[in-house]
Amino acid sequence: MSTFPLDRVDDTYAEAFRSIYAEILITARDRTWLDHALHAATGNASSSIMCDCEAAVDRHVGPGGDESFATPDGRPGAIVQFHVPRFRKDRAEALERSLLVRISQNVLTCATSAAFNLLDEPTWFKLGRKLAYFGDGFQFRAERYGRKVWVVPILGGEFVIDRRFGYRDGIMGGNLWFFGKDMNAALAAAEKAAAAASKMPGVILPFPGGVAASGSKAGSRYKFSIASTYEAFCPTLREQLGEKSKLPPGVGSVMEIILNGRDLPTLTKATHAAIAASLDTPGLVRISAGNYGGRLGKSFIYLHPEKQPPV
């Protein structure tokens, strides 16, 4: 049974798709340097349309964060997810490359940081070993904090990284659209939704601030582009498109949130929490979601909770 009113929520579903993802714990001396590492490691990772992966912070843990999750070195930490679509033929190679580049260039280089694996899976990358070659022969294997790690001597001291990093199946592309009477209303609703969804462990929102202002459709009139603006929902094109416009009356702006995560049930709970948190936003006209009739993915998240099949 629904726990929130549905009169302004479309009876539709968000079409998500499968991914493979890694989950990495990054720690640092304090929150300032931790956030520097996080911002760098998750930069330019909003959309797999053109980014090498989609990445964002799941949650902060250890001192100053969720203290029920103890970090190996007892320092402030954050869990980061990195996703690559499963439909990519080179998905494993692409994910490993993304991890190697982002951890070596943005975490190794960040003062006081360390990196640990969180997925104990039969599928894994020798990420620590590959990164450790930066040590130019002075790197060494060790046991730290009860874990098997590589230690790389650096000018700042030492960089510690787990030897293996696992990966497994995940979910990408969960989404919600917020139709507002103007930009401020649509953005306020999206901000509330993003904040609520981000509280769900195992979920990330990879776009800036958790919000996408440029929702896209698959395909384009240009052969070199795989995605393009969803013109039927662009407020400034309403008169130009006439009957082809799909905007509800009174809508002046549309904002979207995108959700990736560990599995469909987790994304479903986050989606419904996001809807409930945003419904009372002044100026919110409707909430909807993007789907392509099952052509993109086979994982459906229904906006009306009673429509969601058991998983």
What are 271-296's pLDDT values in tens digits? 999 999 999 999 999 999 988 776 67
Structural domain including 186 reads 170-307
Q: Are 29 and 133 in a shared domain? A: yes
Q: Are 130 and 195 in a shared domain? A: no
Q: Extract the tokens encoding 241.
A: 């498109």
Q: pLDDT of 231-241, one tens digit each?
A: 999 999 999 99
Indicate the pairing of strand 216-218 with strand 165-166. Answer: unpaired
Q: Are 199 and 120 in a shared domain? A: no
Domain membership flag for residue 10: no
Identify the domain boundary among 168, 186, 205: 168
Q: Are 125 and 253 in a shared domain? A: no
Q: Are 162 and 26 in a shared domain? A: yes
DSSP assigned state of 287: E
Q: Are 187 and 72 in a shared domain? A: no
pTM of the model: 0.94
Q: How many CB atoms lie within 10 A of CB 243?
A: 5
Identify the domain boundary among 140, 168, 196: 168
Mean pLDDT, rounded, for 66-91: 97
Identify the domain boundary among 144, 168, 192: 168
Q: Are 85 and 96 in a shared domain? A: yes
**3-state secondary structure string across 156-194:** CEEEEEECCEECEEEEEEEEEEEEECCHHHHHHHHHHHH
Q: Give the Cα separation of 113 and 284 in Å (integer).
A: 42
pLDDT at 3: 58
Q: pLDDT of 130-180, one tens digit each?
A: 999 999 999 999 999 999 999 999 999 999 999 999 999 999 999 999 999
**Longest Cα separation, the chain:** 68
| 267: Cβ contacts below 8 Å, ≥ 6 apart | 16, 171, 174, 203, 259, 260, 261, 301
Q: Are 162 and 185 in a shared domain? A: no
Domain membership flag for residue 1: no
